[in-house]
Every structure is written in structure tokens, then in C-alpha cells.
């Protein structure tokens, strides 16, 4: 905590970050070594990876490399999936795949199914995705996004000798505010929060609640260069000073009993 205080009290220091979109990755296939593809593409982009870079990776290419594609023709829906599919207006196969990834149904209405996935993330369809995926297939989230981030980080270190942080991102709708933003669903090598609680503001007043979910902000910043139609599934955030941590992303999930909107 002291280090954050010290760091930010240096007023002369104006931070200047770069958000660099990495182009030229091939369509990712099951079994691909993603670290190798990312390091190779970065090199071809003339971007040498550096220590303390945050490498933000759209979950889709992680899922694809991990073979998390389900052919919908192979899916036999449960009776409940068939029933629920009627209510929400999706196909029984789509709903079955979503339910297998879920541990609770949080909200539903025609066209919308919001669930809590097995890792505790509340989101539409447990993150099961059909866009930017070949026809007839559903793409699941990585089974353990923090583990995926860790493995990517280790792969990048092995290939480049550089110690980066990795953030795996996904696009999510939100209560209260219209539109979607990207957030972090898996992290490695960076603390999930920038925690000011107990520190004092410039007038000496104690900051009681301020705990910035900066990995979500990093994912959002990276989305600005990724877009949805470009093939830019990787961005490097460079120049951002952060605290190292192996905490992972689970602290970002608000427990139901603390969520006044659930």
C-alpha cells in the first residue's frame, strides 16, 4: 500500500501509456501454441515484447487454441434445456451447451439468458459464443481462464525472456448502463485491483471504498484497438506501472449476498 502512495505522490510524473494492437495472427486452431503465435505476430509488427507489458488477449483465441469448440450437432439437450429454450427463444442445443457451463440462472427473458458460470462469473450465456465462430459450432470460455493466462505468461517468458502480465478479456453487457465493455475474465502476473482503501487523498481525507478494478479498465482500453470486425485479438498495454500478484481474477466476482442488484 505504501508503494502506491509513494508512487502516485510523485506529481511531476505524467504517465504515457501505449495501447498497441497486434495484427496478422492466423485463424487459431485447437492445439496451437498461442504464446508462439502472439510473440511471432508481435515480432512481425515490429513490437518487441518488454518486461511489464500487459498482454491483453481476447478470450476467443484462447478458447479456440484450447479446443473449446462444441459441434452443436453432437449436443443432446436435456428436457429442461428444451423447456427453457422455448422461454428464451434460443435453440435447445444452444441452451444445453450454456447450461453445462452454468451453475445458476440469474435472469432470463425472451432473447436473454444471464447465468453464473462454473467459475462464478455472471454474464450472458455463461460466455458461450456463436459470433466469429464457424457455423454449427459454439465456443466456450476457457475452462480455467486464470490458468490459461498463467500458461500464456509462462510461454511468453520462455520464448522472449520477458516478464509480462496477461489479461484475458471478454465483452459483457452490464446492469444499469447500456452497451457492452470488455472486462478481464482471467489474469496472471498483475493484481486484480489498485487498492486505495486506508490511504489519504490530497486533502488528507481517508479513502474508504476506493478499490479500482484496473484489470477491467485495461481490458476496456485494449478493446479500443481490437474492435469486433478487425482481426486484432491481442493488444499490448505498455507503460502502465502495476503491482505483481498471483491472486487471479476470482476477487472480481461479487458474491451474491453482497450484490444489492441480485
Burial 192-229 (b: 16+ CB within 10 A, else e): bbbbbeebeeeeeeeeeeeeebbbbbbbbbbbebbeee
The answer to whether residue 61 forms part of the interface with its own copies (CB under 8 A) is no
Nearer to its own copies, 78 or 134 (CB): 134
In the complex with its own copies, which residue's Cβ is closer, 5 or 36? 5
| Residues binding its own copies: number (CB under 8 A) | 83
Per CB under 8 A, contacts with its own copies among 187-246 are 192-194, 196, 199, 201-203, 205, 207, 209-214, 216-218, 220-221, 223-225, 227-232, 237, 240
The yes or no reply on residue 64 touching its own copies (CB under 8 A) is no
Q: Is 104 in the site for its own copies (CB under 8 A)?
A: no
When the beta carbons of 59 and 214 are compared against its own copies, the nearer one is 214
- Annotate 120-139 with DSSP letters as a single string: S-EEEGGG-B-TTS-TTEEE
Q: Which of 2, 3, 11, 79 binds its own copies (CB under 8 A)?
A: 11
For its own copies, which is the closer residue by CB, 158 or 201? 201
- Strand pairing partners for 70? 138
Stretch that binds its own copies, among 11-19, 31-39, 68-76, 85-93 (CB under 8 A): 11-19
Give the distance from CA 11 to its chain's centroid. 32
Residue 173 touches its own copies, criterion: CB under 8 A: yes
- 91 contributes a contact to its own copies by CB under 8 A: no
**Residue 58 in the binding site for its own copies (CB under 8 A):** no
Alpha carbon of residue 255 to chain centroid: 18
Instruction: Please give the Cα distance from 107 to 157 (Å, whole number).
Output: 41
Q: Give the alpha-carbon dihedral of 144, 103, 121, 39, to 10 degrees.
A: 20
Backbone φ and ψ for 13, nearest 5 degrees, come out as: -90, 110
Q: Which three cell numbers stand for residue 115?
A: 447465468
In the bound complex, what is the minimum distance in angstroms from residue 154's beta carbon to its own copies?
25
Considering only residues 123 through 162, tell me which ones interact with its own copies, judged by CB under 8 A: 130-135
Interface with its own copies, residue 122, by CB under 8 A: yes
CA distance 130 to 137: 7
Nearer to its own copies, 22 or 99 (CB): 22
Distance CA 3, CA 167 (A): 23
Residues 6+ apart with CB under 8 A from 259: none
Amino acid at each position: 500500500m505504501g508503494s502506491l502512495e509513494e508512487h502516485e505522490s510523485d506529481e511531476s510524473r505524467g504517465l504515457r501509456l501505449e495501447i498497441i494492437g497486434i495484427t496478422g495472427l492466423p485463424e487459431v486452431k485447437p492445439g496451437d501454441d498461442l504464446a508462439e503465435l502472439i510473440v511471432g505476430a508481435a515480432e512481425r509488427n515490429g513490437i518487441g515484447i518488454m518486461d511489464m507489458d500487459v498482454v491483453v488477449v481476447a478470450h476467443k483465441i484462447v478458447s479456440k487454441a484450447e479446443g473449446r469448440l462444441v459441434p452443436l450437432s453432437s449436443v443432446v439437450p436435456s428436457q429442461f434445456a428444451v423447456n427453457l429454450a422455448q422461454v428464451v427463444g434460443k435453440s435447445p442445443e444452444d441452451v444445453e451447451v450454456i447450461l453445462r457451463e452454468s451453475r445458476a440462472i440469474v435472469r432470463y427473458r425472451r432473447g436473454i439468458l444471464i447465468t453464473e458460470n462454473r467459475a462464478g462469473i455472471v454474464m450472458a450465456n455463461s460466455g458461450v459464443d456463436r459470433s466469429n465462430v464457424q457455423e454449427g459450432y459454439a465456443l466456450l470460455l476457457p475452462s480455467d481462464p486464470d490458468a490459461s493466462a498463467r500458461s500464456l505468461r509462462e510461454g511468453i517468458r520462455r520464448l522472449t525472456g520477458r516478464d509480462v502480465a496477461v489479461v484475458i478479456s471478454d465483452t459483457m453487457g452490464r446492469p444499469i448502463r447500456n452497451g457492452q465493455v470488455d472486462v478481464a475474465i482471467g489474469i496472471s502476473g498483475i493484481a486484480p485491483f489498485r487498492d486505495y482503501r486506508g490511504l489519504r487523498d490530497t486533502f488528507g481525507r481517508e479513502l474508504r471504498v476506493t478499490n479500482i478494478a484496473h484489470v477491467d479498465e485495461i481490458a476496456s482500453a485494449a478493446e479500443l484497438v481490437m474492435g469486433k470486425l478487425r482481426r486484432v485479438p491481442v493488444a499490448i498495454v505498455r507503460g502502465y506501472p502495476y503491482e505483481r500478484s498471483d491472486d487471479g481474477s476470482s476477487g472480481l466476482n461479487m458474491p451474491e449476498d453482497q450484490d444489492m442488484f441480485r
